[in-house]
């Protein structure tokens, strides 16, 4: 994922700016150079003429402020920017409260660019009213413009679709998933148009969060993997959600297509660099909590044995390359149906045993 360097310096001002230029729904987390960033929450990024304010989702808390976010046109969906010590990923642009109030009275959605020039001052409370602005305001007084903003519309907060995980005394983590709603058929349209007969089912709570490119990726993976000798490389850019696509595509394979059709695969091995085992666990925690759809995180050889005896209810085994290489024979006995290799280029450094681990299909990300 590309990063854009915006002109954001620490903003010390305490004044609350009044006129918004842009407003975005964002994900935010502490800025880090880590490849796999963990977002800490949903938030709102409000851009004023001379600063940007990152707020909590309900807008009660200000998380950080920065001065002069100028390249607003570069704030596309999925763009990640750094604001102070926070990383922010733009989810979508939403109407500003200023534009809403202006729209009601004048039908104009955004202040014209010439007006914005004047907003780029340290004290937006004292905007010199220009002729252009007068037209834009359509007789609206400055007082009205600065009137208290309507309370922000409450956006439903992110609810992990799948809830709850357990850690047993031996340290094995299982994530159990309880299916409550009928699955969502990702390729309903293709089926209606008789382009395909296999429905790609993903959990409906899962599906409402998927972005279009992710739906395409899931369809691609599913189509490639459902064959006997399928394989695929998912080479999306960093941070575009390859993990969620992997989870959704394998879910469709493991849980079968539209009921009562039988499942296509019954076991899935996910091999990842040691440094990313916890990220995968966190990703599973985030998306699959409390559903009857479990994963075993292999930290020792014993976990592989546990997995063997519980594979029916826990079809995923997540393991590091190091451990997988050391226990390749044991893994071979599991006869996985699907093999996922995160950072798949690492495979070339392994000796032949893991590569020979039997799987009907597999893919790398």
Binding site for ligand ATP (CB under 6 A): 35-36, 39, 209-211, 214, 236, 238-244, 283, 286
Q: Where are the alpha helices (DSSP H) in 120-172?
A: 131-137, 142-145
- Of 254, 215, 238, give the one whose Cα is nearest residue 337: 254
For residues 280 and 320, what is the distance between their CA atoms, to the nearest angstrom?
11
Q: Which CB, 11 or 206, lies closer to ligand ATP? A: 206
Tallying the residues shown for the chain, one arrives at: 365
Name which of 133 and 249 has its Cβ closer to ligand ATP.
Answer: 249
- Closer to ligand ATP at the Cβ: 142 or 236? 236
Give Rg (Cα) of the chain: 25
Cα 53 from Cα 76, distance rounded (Å)? 17
Residue (87 or 257) nearer to ligand ATP, CB: 87
Q: Which one-letter DSSP state was computed for residue 40? A: -
Q: Which two tokens stand for residue 105?
A: 């009275």
Measured torsion, CA atoms of residues 188, 193, 198, 202, in degrees rounded to the nearest 10: -10
User: By Cβ distance, which residue is nearest to ligand ATP?
Assistant: 241
CB of 251 to ligand ATP, least distance (A): 14
Q: Cβ 58 to ligand ATP, closest distance in Å?
A: 18
- How far is it, in rounded angstroms, from Cα 32 to Cα 37? 7
Residue number with CB closer to ligand ATP (214 or 306): 214
Closer residue to ligand ATP (CB): 210 or 269? 210
Question: CA-CA distance, 112 to 142, in Å (whole number)?
Answer: 16
Helices H / strands E in the chain, number of each:
13, 17
Closest by CA to 77, choosing from 61, 85, 88, is: 88
Q: How far is the CB of 190 from ligand ATP (least distance, A)?
A: 21
Shortest Å distance, C-beta 240 to ligand ATP: 5
Q: Which is nearer to ligand ATP, 126 or 345 (CB)?
A: 345
CB of 76 to ligand ATP, least distance (A): 15
Residue 352 CB, nearest approach to ligand ATP (Å): 26
CB of 245 to ligand ATP, least distance (A): 8
């Amino acid at each position: 994922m590309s990063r854009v360097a915006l002109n954001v310096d620490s903003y010390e001002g305490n004044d609350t700016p009044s006129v918004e230029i842009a407003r975005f729904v964002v994900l935010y987390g502490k800025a880090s150079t880590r490849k796999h960033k963990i977002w800490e929450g949903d938030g709102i990024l409000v851009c004023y003429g001379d600063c940007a304010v990152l707020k909590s989702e309900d807008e009660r808390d200000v998380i950080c402020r920065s001065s002069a976010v100028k390249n607003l046109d570069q704030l596309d969906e999925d763009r990640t920017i750094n604001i102070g010590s926070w990383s922010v990923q733009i989810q979508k642009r939403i109407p500003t409260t200023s534009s809403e109030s202006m729209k009601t009275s004048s039908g104009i959605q955004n202040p014209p660019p010439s007006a914005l020039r004047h907003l780029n001052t340290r004290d937006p409370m004292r905007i010199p009213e220009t002729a252009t602005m007068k037209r834009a305001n359509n007789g609206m007084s400055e007082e009205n413009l600065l009137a208290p903003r309507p309370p922000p519309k409450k956006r439903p907060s992110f609810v992990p679709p799948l809830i709850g995980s357990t850690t047993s005394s031996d340290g094995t983590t299982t994530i159990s998933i309880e299916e409550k709603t009928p699955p969502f058929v990702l390729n309903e349209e293709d089926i209606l148009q008789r382009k395909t007969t296999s429905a790609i089912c993903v959990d409906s709570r899962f599906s409402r969060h998927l972005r279009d490119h992710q739906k395409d990726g899931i369809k691609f993976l599913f189509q490639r993997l459902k064959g006997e000798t399928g394989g695929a490389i998912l080479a999306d850019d960093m941070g575009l959600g390859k993990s969620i696509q992997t989870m959704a595509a394998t879910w469709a394979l493991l849980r079968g297509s539209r009921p009562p059709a039988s499942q296509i695969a019954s076991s899935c091995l996910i091999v990842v660099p040691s440094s990313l085992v916890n990220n995968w666990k966190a990703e599973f925690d985030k998306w699959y909590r409390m559903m009857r759809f479990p994963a075993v995180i292999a930290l020792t050889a014993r976990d592989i044995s546990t997995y063997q005896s519980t594979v029916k209810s826990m079809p995923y085994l997540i393991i590091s390359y190091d451990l997988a290489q050391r226990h390749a024979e044991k893994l071979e006995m599991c006869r996985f149906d699907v093999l996922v290799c995160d950072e798949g280029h690492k495979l070339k450094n392994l000796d032949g045993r893991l590569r020979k681990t039997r799987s009907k299909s597999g893919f790398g990300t």
